[in-house]
Amino acid sequence: MSRKLKPIAHPRVARVSIHKKIEHILEENHRLLQRFSDKMVEDFIHRIVRARAIFFSAQGRSGFILRCFCMRLMHLGYRVYFCGETITPAIEPGDMLIVLSGSGETSSTLEAVVAAKRHKAFTFGVVGNIESRIASAVDRYIHLPGTTKLRRDFEPHSLQMAGSLFEQAVFIFLEAIIMTLHQERLEECNSFSPRHAVIE
């Protein structure tokens, strides 16, 4: 004889409209993305355009986000490599390393910065913590003061999980950089890149 199970009650939080949550996430990102310097963004774009090759290093969710940026730059014709991949060559003078870290303390990312500087490459960080070792080590950085896994007292208030606001804001910011580079190359915004993968 089978036993009839009682239905599980939905938690109270699930009863709140998902649209309200989306609105809140978008509003948090909108507030955060108003805070960076246009001058620093222009410098970031200028250095991407001038670099001989561009290398990338980040871990965890930040790594996935930075891989998206790396892929789009490849679609636009830039010479790009993600650190740790088997086909990544040695970094050299004239190259650029871009790193991403909310905490600014990710050990392997910091090691990538140190190695790049040792080989005379330019280093640029997008960080959530300007009092971090990575922020101190890179040649330039852009500060997006979102929430990080450190949950420091002076971080902005967010209803999201630790790190989510920083990661979302960075993704939007980097997509805006791609849009800028795309439009500056006089390509139609909806054009299909000939560099898109054809074997998947």
Active site residues: 167
Residues 164, 168, 169, CA angle at the centre, nearest 5°? 115
Q: Is the CB of residue 125 less than 8 Å from the CB of residue 174? A: no
Residue type, position 184, single letter:
E
Q: How far is CA 50 from the centre of its chain?
A: 20
38-50 helix and 164-184 helix, angle to the nearest 10 degrees:
60
Alpha helices in 33-121, H assignment, sequence order? 38-50, 60-75, 107-118
Neighbours of 48 (CB within 10 A): 20
Distance CA(55)–CA(45), nearest Å, equals 15
Q: Is the CB of residue 96 less than 8 Å from the CB of residue 54? A: yes
In sequence order, what E strands does 71-179 have? 80-82, 96-101, 122-127, 140-143
